[in-house]
Chain A
């Protein structure tokens, strides 16, 4: 939290509180994580596609994506943000998520490059007979470049949350949560 600078002890206390508070229960269970992930992808792709075609939609797109990313972070109790208060189980699961996310991003970029190469080959050799010309298949102006940049930033940031796994905390009421914790 850059905008509220707390002293070290209070900051740690606050982060530990977030790590176990019942307030976040509705967002941290498996069903909520699945729902947040589906919504995030719908915003990322759907709103992104809409923004490509309707100028002025990019600001709303960026804000909506940011909200989705905050929801994702809350659904894993900010373990990607707060190193100093996570335990070894959370740390292992987080590191595994980073590894998987790196592999997934690599795959996504390889697929994009491959598709671009195939499109270039088809246009250059089969349709136009003009040889390979690596032109952008999106014919992007400045506005569209911004939208694509927002999309790529969102896609890459989202990967760590998606690859963390959908398994969340048990779907329980506050009473059941307290019982699990205190039994």
Chain B
């Protein structure tokens, strides 16, 4: 169970607004988040990851406290065991597809399985510059899964995929997330693409 109750100031065009979230995410659940641009969806994911600190509140993962403003606990991103799929992918230009996964894990069998899941076996020696947008996005998802995280945060993870690839990938991911019991939070501009998959949803205003 991931339990979040935070307040974070957001800079907006017309002054400041406050993002206030009070929400529990059951272990192994999949939650989709949608809402207009600038409503704080990405900021929320980064707050959970520990990449941004909120002004107030508490974040807990089961019995472990990740953040508590009052007693000044702020567990580093490295120790939270999360996977993060960035909206702009944030792939490493100096690494090949396989090196991306090897940077995250030493488990060769797991790497093979991930490459097969993302249909990137034949491209494993390619660097991001030589991949299409869809292939880059799949690599970003595989890299986030490589550490077998307890919590997977995905920011627009399917935006560059064609319908066929998206359907296949979602089906494959569904089984994998269930098998590893990974709690997942997905920000999406097209919430209907996750219909029948997500257990819960949050709407940002």
Whether chain B is bound by chain A comes out as: no
Contact residues of A with B, CB < 8 Å? none
